[in-house]
Amino acid sequence: MDFTSPTGERVRRSAETGNKAEAQELHDKLKAEVWRVDKLGERPRRTWNDAVVRWLTEQAHKASIEADKIHLRWLDRHLRGLELTAITRDRIDRIGAAKLAEGVAPATVNRVMEVLRAVLRRCVDEWEWLDKCPKVRMLKEPTRRIRYLSHEEAGRLLAELPGHLADMAAFSLATGLRRSNVTGLRWDQVDLAQCRAWIHPDQAKARRAIPVPLNDDAMSVVRRQIGKHRELVFSFRGKPIRQVSTKAWYSALERADIKSFRWHDLRHTWASWHVQGGTPLFALQELGGWESAEMVRKYAHLSADHLAPYAQRLAPLIGHGTNASQAQKDEGATFR
């Protein structure tokens, strides 16, 4: 197909068919659409695929872009080739139901729906490809308790892990760094003399640099890695470590009698220990590289030291009430 739009722009592309009649029909349709867009101010017809391509281009910097790609690949089987105006509330509900029917948790369904909603909102708010975004219903997710280890449990786990995993787990418990930041930590990000390390903005989930002070435990782990790899702090037999949730990890958990525990829960353990030790939430937020204070508040209930003075105000009242009640019982016993 080859024609010129009213603005003088040349439109040249394949009709993607070997049938001349179909190619001519598509040619005429596209030419009419281009004319209506230019002369009547109508919006060009955009498809879901158009939106996905632009989304991936503009969001390439996201730390979670790989997870987005996984969800978008799954959505492709339901939305491929559809015009954006055909993506209705009813269709979105059916997509959510299809994902849930795979036997996944409501949280997994919501992660897919969040990506779908984000793309559609961008179509409305920034690209002006749609007049409004259809409602995307989220499923209710059960509140999940923070899973963290006691010091005794942590000791059992480290004792059961093979050396390279034990070192990385101990380092995670000492610094709170995410898995990718531990496996990807380079020697040029560590200052042994100053006992500190740092995570560059492009390596951090929140895209902000993270200062990492190294305590005695962390320094001990790092010193054991000297000479094992030229560039990376942590390695296995001279090679980079790509995966930590391996068979060895799960076997160690079983031997240590620790259930329902993920590698990421090492970070929860680190944060929980900090709060229980009295570290203020604002300091914990900076140490952990969280984007907002709200993300840190889930650990706040683990420390009530700052509330103790207020709770103590009721102690005299409770004591008085208890004594008065006992006195009444004694007096009644005497009268009888």
CA-to-CA distance for 188 and 196, rounded, in angstroms? Answer: 11
Active site residue 264: yes
**Per the residue annotation, which of 27, 45, 264, 298 is the catalytic one?**
264
Mean pLDDT of 176-202: 95
Confidence (pLDDT) at 206: 80
Average pLDDT over all residues of the chain: 87
How far is 38 from 178, CA to CA, in rounded Å?
Answer: 51
pLDDT in tens, 44-87: 778 999 999 999 999 988 877 888 999 999 999 999 999 999 99
Is 267 annotated as catalytic?
Answer: yes
Given the residues 48, 129, 273, 299, the one annotated as active site: 299
- Among candidate residues 178, 229, 268, 274, the one labeled active-site is 178
- CA distance linking residue 238 with residue 257, whole number of Å: 31
Task: Examine the residue annotation and report whether 274 is marked as an active-site residue of this protein.
Answer: no
Written as six digits, the tokens of 200 are 């560059």
Residue with tokens 């980079």: 240
Task: Scan for tokens 């962390």, then name that residue.
Answer: 218
- Structure tokens, 199: 């995570």
Q: Which of 71, 99, 122, 267 is catalytic?
A: 267
Q: In this structure, what token pair is assigned to residue 321? A: 């009430």
Residue type, 85: T
Question: How many alpha carbons lie under 13 Å from residue 7 in its C-beta half-sphere?
Answer: 9
Mean pLDDT of 128-135: 90
Q: Answer yes or no: is pLDDT of 330 > 60.
A: no
Q: Which two tokens stand for residue 18?
A: 């070997």
The pLDDT-based confidence of 17 (bands split at 50, 70, 90) is confident
- What would the two tokens of residue 185 be? 């930590």
Residues in the chain: 336
41-50, 228-237, 321-330: segment of lowest average pLDDT: 321-330
Residue 325 has pLDDT above 60, yes or no: no
